[in-house]
């Protein structure tokens, strides 16, 4: 259920629909409103596309270091364990056979396997828009005018998160001990980065690196500098 703070005001004048959202300051009070493009925050949920892109990104992260040796690569086993006949035991030609302990591995993983999957820019952008739209519909995106701090102090960052948790629907921001908040900074901000990175419930990314996998990995998304951030996101599509 969407509370008053998260209601989407969609206005259409014959052109592309616009979605209105509130902007908050570091004190947790409303600082203004912003019109969001429907193609970014009002897109249709496409589970098939999101799944394809997310699985592709996960696959691209694989290092591919798993490697096993077959019977020809395992050291030893050159001598026949025992003569072919007359012992009463089964016939074996090498102690490095896959059925022996310490022998080679049959059809095991090899380090030369390529896990890379190609993901087009358009697919990645459309999947991101679909995920952002779902987050917006569920009331899990919070727009903050600025996260700049006068000095790099974790105490200041804690105060900001506590203030933002007063916004209706975002109470878990301050209570959580597990990573639940993805914070997208528009640009480099050394003081903010050093201050917020020590909070266990928060992860910092730069807006230019925002992707569907990261957004889905966290419950809430905080977007700093909404005006510029929205323009950048819209340009990606």
Q: Tell me, what CATH number does 18's domain have?
A: 3.40.1370.10
Classify residue 141: in a domain, yes or no. yes
- Domain count within the chain: 1
pLDDT at 206: 94
SS3 204: strand
pLDDT at 17: 57
d(CA 90, CA 77): 16
What secondary structure letter does DSSP report for 208? G
SS3 41: helix
Classify residue 105: in a domain, yes or no. no
pLDDT at 113: 85
pLDDT at 6: 46
Q: Exposed, middle or buried by CB within 10 Å (0-12, 13-18, 19+), for 107?
A: exposed
H-state helical runs in the chain: 38-41, 47-61, 121-137, 154-164, 172-175, 190-196, 212-217, 226-236
Name the pTM for this structure: 0.78
pLDDT at 16: 54
- Average pLDDT along the chain, 237 residues, taken 10 residues at a time: 46 57 94 94 95 95 89 90 94 93 92 89 96 95 93 92 92 83 91 90 93 95 95 90
Classify residue 79: in a domain, yes or no. no
Classify residue 41: in a domain, yes or no. yes
Classify residue 78: in a domain, yes or no. no
Domain extent, residue 175, equals 4-62+116-236
Classify residue 124: in a domain, yes or no. yes
Classify residue 111: in a domain, yes or no. no
Q: Exposed, middle or buried by CB within 10 Å (0-12, 13-18, 19+), for 168?
A: exposed
Task: Report CA dihedral (147, 153, 155, 161) to the nearest 10 degrees.
Answer: 20
Relative to beta strand 30-37, strand 18-24 is: antiparallel
Classify residue 74: in a domain, yes or no. no
């Amino acid at each position: 259920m969407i509370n008053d703070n998260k209601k989407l005001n969609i206005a259409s004048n014959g052109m592309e629909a616009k979605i209105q959202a509130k902007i908050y300051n570091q004190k947790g009070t409303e600082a203004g409103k912003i019109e969001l493009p429907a193609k970014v925050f009002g897109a249709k949920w496409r589970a098939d596309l999101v799944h394809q892109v997310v699985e592709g990104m996960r696959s691209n992260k694989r290092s591919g270091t798993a490697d096993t040796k077959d019977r020809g690569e395992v050291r030893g086993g050159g001598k026949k364990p025992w003569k072919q006949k007359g012992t009463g035991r089964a016939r074996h030609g090498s102690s490095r056979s896959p059925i022996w302990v310490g022998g080679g591995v049959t059809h095991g993983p090899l380090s030369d396997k390529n896990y890379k999957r190609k993901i087009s820019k358009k697919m990645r952008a459309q999947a991101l828009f679909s995920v952002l739209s779902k987050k917006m519909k569920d009331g899990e995106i919070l727009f903050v005018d600025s996260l700049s701090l006068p000095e790099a102090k974790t105490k200041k960052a804690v105060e900001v998160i506590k203030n933002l948790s007063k916004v209706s629907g975002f109470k878990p921001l301050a209570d959580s001990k597990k990573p639940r908040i993805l914070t997208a900074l528009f640009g480099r901000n050394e003081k903010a980065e050093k201050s917020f990175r020590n909070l266990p419930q928060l992860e910092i990314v730069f807006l230019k690196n925002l992707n569907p996998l990261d957004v889905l990995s966290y419950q809430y998304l905080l977007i700093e500098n909404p005006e510029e951030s929205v323009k950048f996101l819209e340009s990606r599509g």
